[in-house]
Structure 1
Amino acid sequence: MRIDWIKQFFLFAAIPLLATSVLAKDPDFKAPAEYVGPPKPLHAATNRAFQGIPSMAVTPGGRLWATWYASKTPGEDANNYVVLSTSSDQGATWKEVLVVDPDEEGPVRTFDPELWMAPDGKLRLAWAQSIGHDGTVAGVWFLETDEPESAQPTWKKPVRVTDGVMMCKPTVLASGDWVLPASTWRKTDNSAKMVVSDDHGKTWSIRGACNVPPKVRAFDEHMFVERKDGSLWLLVRTRYGIGESVSTDGGKTWPELTPSTLAHPSARFFISRLNSGNLLLVKHGPIDKPTGRSHLMAFLSTDDGKSWSNGFLLDERAGVSYPDGQQTPDGLIRIIYDFSRTGDRNILMATFREEDVAAGKPVSKDVKLRQVVSKASGGMKKAKP
């Protein structure tokens, strides 16, 4: 998994030569995935040795959508495909309705999906598509529907919107601009990009980008926060945890990334503006105490990130990671995350309210933790060394 990126480097040691050869002759990684449709027997939850890295969205009518990626083999490899699941009963039951699989056994893989209910009322499923782990040749794809309340909506054709990988939620600025946090991670300067649309998603262009110092580059997985003073606060995953930069010109220029005061392992985090105007942050461990990928906690800030509450514990187990979520107009907050990607292979959801986070303990009647979205099994075992 991505926590062992050095191991992944050696695992994919043979791929760069293959990728160079394939990309030079065959643009398949830039072509739409060959299969976008109902799950086949190959994609059954009982034929997965790996699943994780989820995202979720909630429609205005209350339908829940969840996505993640999976594989019949136990890792992030050419067998990866994206899964889309939905629930009409507040997460009590789920049904997988769609997979995005470029070519089954590779070399192209789909991974790092994201779900977003955009201001235009459309549901968008995004994913990255590439060969191997090279974020410089990956592309961000959008699949959208006008029927987010339907269990079986009609989907438009997939569209490649920008280079790189988009691992976190888009942001809508006060100006109305839509912002994608796309990254050409690890190998390029100015990798943490701000990709903007001023025409409701019809066209996209890079407005600016932040440079992550080479020695601390990992998988940027960055997020943007528009502060009340109009500045843009950028938080980025690094090898040491979370780095930050602030733009005061609408995202055109960004000072080079520097360490933030938020203690964290090298892993994805989640930050969002709540209905109240306060900020919600979901990360591992206390604000100022580093941990591994355990103790997934939610924090509240009433002063635009200058200070944070003591934290509300969502799941203390080792092996929990990759939070993503959404607050709905009724105040409910739902956070999706994974647990034990090649062991238990769980996709889980936590439901709570802002007052629970502020109190640091359950005080509302709506707290539900470790709700099962998906549990996988089977697949191919790890090859013996």
Structure 2
Amino acid sequence: MTFILTASLAQAQEFNSIRMVSDQQVWGFTRGGAYFSEDAAQTWKQVTPAFTEQVTALQGFALDAKHAWLTGQGDGKVLLAFTQDAGQNWTQLKLYEQGQGAWVQFRDPQNGFAVIGMDAGMSHQAFILLKTSNGGVTWQKVNSSKNDYFKTPELQGGNLPDICCITDALFVNDKTVLVTGGYTPIEKPYFFRSNNGGKTFVAASSILPLNATERKSFSRLEIPYAKGDVVLVVGTFSTPEQPSVLVTFLSQDGGKSWVRGEKLNPRSQPQRTQVLFTDAKNGFTWLGGKLYKTSTAGQTWHEIKVPFENAAGFKQITFADPRNGMALLDTSLWITGNGGESWQEIKR
């Protein structure tokens, strides 16, 4: 059962995230619901599922025009709803018996993972890592953070760090799993690898081609693209002399070895940083208030001038393919159909 209502653009601009999945189809998510557009964000339909109980703090993930997932909090539990028909119908279930928020990602309609937040504080983060191979119908616990700081039974046996914070997880195949994140108090990359399907993890930062300065100035790692044996990892670094430095690492053997790309340094103060790739070669990054593009898997980047450069209210970029993309700001939406070379504002 789903509520389908026409949404004004004023409502649409309250999105905390959007996902462009084709040149015309766009998903939008707020803390209270889900929206879908079939005319490049000119008009929207509200497709929020009618949850059977009160749900707060919704977070959404869309894979394509048909498949999307919502997580939320309900009476101490973590709830999940997913659709396979663009929000016309939703399946609801309990993702985990307890938790303080969750987010999910899927690499295809069947295979995905969920991170369940259990507790956090003083630069520590407790979480549980789940996976699904049937689109979210059933979930299997893979691992968790260590039971060092937060002494709870749910974390028994976990061997991932409980130092804040995990940013990404990737099930390359049934055996190889990569987990990335960012350390606050410890000057070393958060990068862990499993060769047994996630049962145990070992630190893998030594295989990344980083120099000593980069290891000390490390901020975070994330995985913006993966398909088959091709994996792209992006690291962000910050020092007083060079804030918001970004480096891309490319693996073509499922994460066994890595080649580093060009160091991208806009020489501006740190701001919100985002990186996404639409395929194994083409990607975009918002770094230091500017937009950059690559067609060489991050080996080289070039800046694209945009009308919202250095915008204080920037939230997110999303691209369906190397040409069609959108930018979400606090008070506006912008759209491009030529890879970011020109942009048009979508008016209220």
**Matching residue of 1:281:** 233
**Matching residue of 2:85:** 146
Per-residue CA distance 1:242-266 (angstroms, 9 max, x = gap) = 5232222111233589999765547
Q: Secondary structure at the match of 1:273?
A: strand
2:116 to 144, 169, 183: 183
Q: Secondary structure at the match of 2:199?
A: coil
Matches of 2:74 and 2:199, distance apart in 1: 28
**Matching residue of 2:71:** 127
Summarize the Cα distance change of 1:351–1:168 in structure 2 as closer, same or farther, 3 Å threshold. farther
Q: Secondary structure at the match of 1:44?
A: helix
Summarize the Cα distance change of 1:367–1:327 in structure 2 as closer, same or farther, 3 Å threshold. closer
Any conservation in 2 of the 1:320–1:339 contact (CA below 8 Å)? yes
Summarize the Cα distance change of 1:358–1:326 in structure 2 as closer, same or farther, 3 Å threshold. closer
**Matching residue of 1:11:** none
Deviation for aligned residue 1:123:
1.0
Any conservation in 1 of the 2:178–2:192 contact (CA below 8 Å)? yes
Summarize the Cα distance change of 1:44–1:143 in structure 2 as closer, same or farther, 3 Å threshold. same
Matches of 1:88 and 1:299, distance apart in 2: 34
**Matching residue of 1:23:** none
**Matching residue of 1:361:** 302
Any conservation in 2 of the 1:185–1:219 contact (CA below 8 Å)? no
Q: Secondary structure at the match of 2:298?
A: helix
Any conservation in 1 of the 2:234–2:249 contact (CA below 8 Å)? no
1:314-353 alignment runs, 5 A limit = 318-321=270-273, 323=274, 325=276, 327=278, 332-333=282-283, 352-353=293-294
Q: 2:178 matched to 1:245?
A: no
Any conservation in 1 of the 2:77–2:94 contact (CA below 8 Å)? no
Any conservation in 2 of the 1:235–1:243 contact (CA below 8 Å)? yes
Deviation for aligned residue 1:87:
5.8
**Matching residue of 1:193:** 128
Give the RMSD, CA atoms, in angstroms: 5.1
Matches of 1:302 and 1:94, distance apart in 2: 39
Deviation for aligned residue 1:180:
0.8
Name stretches of at least 5 consecutive residues in structure 1 with no aligned partner.
Answer: 1-31, 70-79, 132-136, 148-152, 341-347, 378-385
Per-residue CA distance 1:208-243 (angstroms, 9 max, x = gap) = 33428539644534322527x953221134434852
Matches of 1:45 and 1:55, distance apart in 2: 10
Matches of 1:85 and 1:296, distance apart in 2: 35
Matches of 2:60 and 2:118, distance apart in 1: 16
**Matching residue of 1:376:** 331
Summarize the Cα distance change of 1:193–1:64 in structure 2 as closer, same or farther, 3 Å threshold. farther
Any conservation in 2 of the 1:57–1:116 contact (CA below 8 Å)? no
Query: Which is richer in strand?
Result: 2
Query: Which is richer in helix?
Result: 1
Q: Return the letter of the residue paired with 1:179.
A: G
**Matching residue of 2:307:** none
Summarize the Cα distance change of 1:113–1:143 in structure 2 as closer, same or farther, 3 Å threshold. same
Equivalent pairs counted in the alignment come to 286
Q: Return the letter of the residue paired with 1:183.
A: I
Q: Return the letter of the residue paired with 1:123.
A: H
Any conservation in 2 of the 1:265–1:284 contact (CA below 8 Å)? yes
1:34-49 alignment runs, 5 A limit = 36-38=3-5, 44=11
Q: 2:175 matched to 1:220?
A: no
Q: Secondary structure at the match of 2:296?
A: helix
Name stretches of at least 5 consecutive residues in structure 2 with no aligned partner.
Answer: 151-161, 305-320, 333-348
**Matching residue of 2:26:** 65
Q: 240-249 or 211-220: which moved more?
A: 211-220
Any conservation in 1 of the 2:292–2:302 contact (CA below 8 Å)? no
Any conservation in 1 of the 2:9–2:43 contact (CA below 8 Å)? no
Q: Secondary structure at the match of 1:126?
A: strand
**Matching residue of 2:225:** 272
Give the TM-score, by structure 2 length.
0.58
Matches of 2:67 and 2:43, distance apart in 1: 17
Matches of 2:103 and 2:239, distance apart in 1: 22
Summarize the Cα distance change of 1:368–1:156 in structure 2 as closer, same or farther, 3 Å threshold. closer
Matches of 1:327 and 1:351, distance apart in 2: 14
Summarize the Cα distance change of 1:333–1:306 in structure 2 as closer, same or farther, 3 Å threshold. closer
Deviation for aligned residue 1:274:
5.1
2:137 to 183, 199, 202: 202
Matches of 1:170 and 1:42, distance apart in 2: 28
Give the TM-score, by structure 1 length.
0.54
Matches of 2:37 and 2:200, distance apart in 1: 39
Q: Return the letter of the residue paired with 1:271.
A: P
Summarize the Cα distance change of 1:354–1:158 in structure 2 as closer, same or farther, 3 Å threshold. farther
Matches of 1:302 and 1:272, distance apart in 2: 11
**Matching residue of 1:19:** none
Q: 2:262 matched to 1:310?
A: yes
1:115 to 42, 56, 62: 62
